A and B are shown apart, each in its own frame.
Chain A
Amino acid sequence: MNIVLRELRANLKSLIIWCVSMALLIYAGMVKYSGIAAVGQSANELFNQLPEAMKSILGMNSLDLTSISGYYGMFFLYFMLLGSTFAVMLGAIIISKEERDKTADFLLVKPISRSKVITAKLIATLINLAVFNIITLLASFFFVAMFNKGVPINDQIINLMIALFILEVLFASIGAGISVFTTNTKKATSLATTLLLTMFLLSAAIDIYDKISFFKYLTPFKYFQTAQVMRGSFDTFFLFLSAFILITCIALTYTTFQKRDIHI
């Protein structure tokens, strides 16, 4: 418990910065929406004439962009990018920073097992992500309501936030998995960034050219189809895949960190 509290305190500043950025992003998105809404329903008919691949490039496939929910859904891609960056960095740093700051010789000589240390740090990560998501949720409620002239879309927002949370937990576990295999934070964050950007670009490529959609198993950005999630249904296969990756990464984190030498 002491480690959890200590981690929460140590991460507070960065958490606040990320929450503020997210709120700003949502605000920016909604301002953008007001522009489209002004054009009105006719815009939608125009969109529908576009070829599927082109709609994907523009990030507006199968969603009604003039409705606020469709528009919010389009923006979800950016939420995923921001949220997963936050999560993967958090995961990559939270364990490895003890070696970076050379405090590992302080913490790990305490009468506590290494697995307890990891558990505490993972709990702190989970709490950070939960707070980040709650803030995202509240900011979404608030800014959407500000620009929404039709029916409230809170249910859809909640569904998307659940997907976002799962995605973040997944990325945090990937980050943690990476960090125990590398010997320092710098390598861990570089590797995590590379992986994240590759996955993001891969998902963008799949959008452009659907014949390579078999790559979708490789990028968590494709695990949650926005339109489907907004209806409140999750793809069982991808949920299982997420769970599988998550459990594998966490298990590797525990077993590897348990066995490895601490370098300072």
Chain B
Amino acid sequence: MNIYIQELKMSVKSLIYWTFGMLLALMFFMLLFPAISQDAALMNQLISKFPPELTRALGLTTLDLSMALGFYGYLFLFILLIGSVYAMKSGMSVLSEEIRAKTADFLLSKPISRNTIVTAKIMSVLSLLVLQTVFYIIGAFIVVNLTTNQLFDRTTFLLINLSLLLVQLFFAALGLLLSVIVRKIKTVLPIALGIVFGFYVLQMLNQSLTDSNLAYITPFAYFDISKIVATGAYESNYLIINTFMILGFTILTYIIYNKKDMPSI
């Protein structure tokens, strides 16, 4: 419990910055919504005439950008990218920070098992991400209501936003696993940025290839916003894959961390 609280204390500032940043970005884009919604309505008509191969090849959105929820879903990608970088960074640094700060000897010589340490740290990351999602959803709800007077389906809105947490959990778990595999990570952020961008590129590739198995690899494909908006539900097969991935990464983290040699100071 002491580790858990210590971790939260150390991360609360960056949590606030990141969440605030996400909301600021959202606010900025949503302010543009009234200006473009008419153009978007026109585009909808045109795109519906496009051959489907083309829409797919371009990764053209089937979201209705003239609707508040459609526009929100479209720019949600940016939020998702920022949130993913945050999650990856948090997951990656929480265990490796001890080695960077040369405090590993301090912590590991305390009468606690490594499993306790990993659990406390994972719980702290989990709490951070849940907190972030909660704050973000509240903030986003306010922002969307401020910038448009259109009515929108709240359940769908919630589903879109909850996918943020689910994708974040994937990246946090992946980050945890990477941080225990690599002996020493010197700077977290560039690696986190690189990996998240990498998965995003995979998603772009996935969008343009028909009949691709790539979708199973990248979490950005697990929660297709346009499908959520259309059906008001997640795709269960991807939800299951996501859960398994997260569990798998986490279990491996425990196993490897237990066997890991700590680099000397």
Given a CB threshold of 8 Å, the question of whether A touches B is answered with: yes
A residues touching B (Cβ–Cβ < 8 Å)? Answer: 14, 17-18, 21, 24-25, 28-29, 31-32, 35-36, 38-39, 43, 46, 49-51, 53-54, 57-58, 60, 65, 78, 81-82, 85, 89, 93, 97, 100-101, 185-186, 189-190, 193-194, 197, 201, 204-205, 208-209, 211-212
Binds A, one of B28-36, B117-125, B247-255: B28-36
Determine if A201 and B186 form an interchain contact, defined as CB atoms under 8 angstroms apart.
no
Given A28-B201, A50-B43, A54-B40, A17-B54 contact (CB < 8 Å):
no
Q: Which of these, B21, B29, B197, contacts A85 with CB under 8 Å?
A: B197
> Given A43-B54, A201-B25, is A24 in contact with B32 using a C-beta cutoff of 8 Å?
no
- Taking CB atoms, residues of chain B closer than 8 Å to A17 are 194
Contact B205 A39 (CB under 8 A): no
In the assembled complex, the CB of A190 is this many whole angstroms from the nearest CB of chain B, namely 7
Contact A93 B197, beta carbon cutoff 8 Å = no
* A212 and chain B: residue at smallest CB distance: B32
C-alpha spacing A210/B21, complex, angstroms: 23
CA of A53 to CA of B39 in the docked complex: distance in angstroms? 7
Query: Are A205 and B21 neighbours in the complex by a CB distance under 8 Å?
Result: no
In the complex the two chains form, is B35's CB within 8 Å of A211's CB? yes
With A32-B205, A85-B193 given, name 8 new contacts (CB 8 A). A14-B190, A17-B194, A35-B209, A50-B47, A93-B187, A97-B186, A186-B189, A205-B28
CB-defined contacts of B189 to chain A, threshold 8 Å: 89, 186, 189-190, 193
Q: CB < 8 Å: which of A36, A186, A194, A205 contacts B57?
A: A36
Q: How far, in angstroms, from A89 to B21 measured CA to CA in the complex?
A: 20
For chain B, give the interface size range.
35 or more
Contact between A208 and B58 (Cβ–Cβ < 8 Å)? no
Chain B residue contacts of A50, Cβ below 8 A = 43, 46-47
User: Which B residues are within 8 Å of any A CB, using their own CB?
Assistant: 14, 21, 25, 28-29, 32, 35-36, 39-40, 42-43, 46-47, 49-51, 53-54, 56-60, 65, 74, 78, 82, 85, 186-190, 193-194, 197-198, 201-202, 204-205, 207-210
| Distance to closest chain A CB from B83 (angstroms) | 12
Whether the Cβ atoms of B186 and A100 lie closer than 8 Å is: yes
